[in-house]
Amino acid sequence: MIAIFNYHSVDDSDYFYSVSKSVFYKQLSWIKSSFKIIRLEQLKDYLSHPDFNKNKIAIVTFDDGLADNYFNVLPVIKELKVPITVFIPPNLIGKKIFIPDRELEIMDLEKIKEMQASGLVNFASHGLDHKKMTSLGEVDLEKNLKLSKELIQGIFGEKGDFFAYPKADSNEEVRKMTARYYQFAFGGNGVILDNKNIDKYNLPRIIINKNISNFKFRLMLKKIPWKIKGYLK
């Protein structure tokens, strides 16, 4: 099985998708002791791994590329030696995302380069400017997918194989178009328990937010392998 964790913000603020620095440190340590953590680029290999059902694999991702990732995530992943992938909207580099009741700062190019220099951080597309993909007409949708991929390749020197739908929002048409440009794309909440019936353009991630207590988080980590025991028989 493969559990792909999805964070947004690590910060001591009251933002729903923020976890505090101390909680993040604990959670990442627990993930590390319960799973083999791989890079997102290794996903393809592990999906077709002969021991897929027995393997306990985790991947750690962040959405939006918030500046707090640079200040509060980079030191922790360096200490724990955990690779991550950050899904970022390339048109918003160094700018702000406005959401109801707050504005969030996206990291600038200097921070991005420093994160890449750690050798632990890869960047991938989160849409050009964080618009909901289902709100775009066909021409804009294709432009958004294609251009954001080209920018991720050009600015970041990445392969550009992965996409995370802004707000986990997609439909059949969006997924079809995404398949023209990307190898994998991420949608809603869940864990990959099956390597045969997966939808490569709607892969699940475990979305972490403030409401997940330390107790609940540890229980969840224990439950993931427990849940698939019956499945293994």
Q: Which residues bind Zn ion (CB under 5 A)?
A: 63-64, 166
Which is nearer to Zn ion, 166 or 204 (by Cβ)? 166
The two three-digit tokens of residue 110, written as one number = 């200097």
Burial class (CB in 10 A: 0-12, 13-18, 19+), 171: exposed
Quote the CA–CA distance of 225 and 1 in Å, as a whole number. 8
Cβ-Cβ contacts under 8 Å for 23 (sequence gap 6 or more): 214
Q: Would you call 66 helix, strand, or coil by DSSP?
A: strand
* Nearest residue (CB) to Zn ion, 111 versus 205: 205
Find out whether 105 and 23 touch, Cβ atoms under 8 Å: no
Alpha-helical runs (H) found in the chain: 21-34, 43-47, 67-68, 74-80, 109-117, 138-156, 172-181, 214-227, 229-232
Could you tell me the smallest distance in angstroms from the CB atom of residue 25 to Zn ion? 23
Query: Could you tell me the smallest distance in angstroms from the CB atom of residue 8 to Zn ion?
Result: 7
| C-beta nearest to Zn ion: residue | 63
Q: Give the nearest distance from C-beta 144 to Zn ion in angstroms.
A: 14
Taking the complex as a whole, the smallest distance from the CB of residue 123 to Zn ion amounts, in Å, to 14
Give Cβ neighbours of residue 70 (< 8 Å, ≥ 6 apart).
107, 111, 114, 115
Question: Whole-number minimum distance, CB 85 to Zn ion, in Å?
Answer: 13
Q: Between residues 97 and 120, which has the closer beta carbon with respect to Zn ion?
A: 97
- Smallest separation, CB 145 to Zn ion (Å): 15
CB closer to Zn ion, 129 vs 150: 129
What are the Cα distances from residue 176, in Å, to 2, 89, 159, 219? 24, 20, 20, 36
Closest alpha carbon to 40 in 155, 178, 203: 203
Q: Which is nearer to Zn ion, 64 or 68 (CB)?
A: 64
- 64/221 with CB nearer Zn ion: 64
